[in-house]
Homo-oligomer: A and B are copies of this chain.
Amino acid sequence: MTKDAAPSAAGRPRLSGAPTGSPRQDIIREATALFVAKGYAETTMSEIARSAGLRQSSLYYWFARKEHILQALLEENRSSLALAASLEGRSGPAAPRLYAVLHADAMQLCSAPLDFYEFERVARSQPQNFGAFFDDYAALHGLTASIVRQGVESGEFQAVESEDAATAALGLNEGLQRHYRQPLPGLRSYSAEQVSGLSADTTLARLLAAPGKLAAVRAEAADLTAGWNPSAES
């Protein structure tokens, strides 16, 4: 049941006559487009089925629950954690590493198919299926706090409590991604790059012992991120 992708032409043919490619991937692709356009809660299984070219009840052959489609989406979005894991253990000043991690996380939050909070809501209602989500978050938080601690110990950063600083930094990322996804009426709207820059700038400006170095930190962070390939890590 729920095989990954069977390009075989077996099974009852579709009424729509549509060419049955890789149903699982088709469903994920169409669902992603709909989630992006309308959000998770507002997208119905009937709409996904119509887009993917089969009937609503047939969807449940591939995904027993609506949340499982979301779960399949999640597993393609873990790159910022990999970057953080890589940069946490690297030598050199902490500030550019922290900037790179925060900026990459914000960019990922902005470009993900789903609003972070919508994702979190679903994850919380299905803890047994989304344990990886919370594990990843806790790991990212821990790595962020670790980089902060390194910066504090080296004197780059002011003397802050590293766990709280990490919570604030990630919370700022989450709060600001909203302003990219859903600009509030009457306020200016931001691009993903602007949101990510604002968030990382704000956190670093708060932490740096020498605030004048922010521009240099930003440039160094760009070097760290350049050529980063999430899947090419040990």
Contacts and interface: CB of A to CB of B under 8 A. Distances in A.
Q: How large is the interface on A (under 10, 10 to 19, 20 to 34, 35 or more residues)?
A: 35 or more
Contacts of A120: 178, 182, 184
B167 A134 contact: no
Contact of A206 (B178, B188, B206): B206
Contacts of A228: none
A141 B184 CA distance: 11
Interface stretch (A94-102, A169-177, A218-226): A169-177
Interface stretch (A7-15, A16-24, A83-91, A197-205): A197-205
A184 B117 contact: no
A47 interface: no
B134 A185 contact: yes
A211 B158 contact: yes
A191 B186 CA distance: 32
A6 interface: no
A167 B187 contact: yes
A167 B179 contact: yes
Contacts of A179: 167, 171
Contacts of A167: 176, 179, 187-188, 190, 198
A138 interface: yes
A30 interface: no
Given A135-B186, A158-B211, A172-B172, 20 more contacts: A117-B178, A120-B182, A134-B184, A137-B187, A138-B184, A138-B185, A138-B186, A138-B187, A141-B186, A141-B187, A158-B205, A165-B202, A167-B188, A167-B198, A168-B198, A168-B199, A170-B175, A175-B176, A203-B206, A206-B206
Interface in A50-64: none
A124 interface: yes
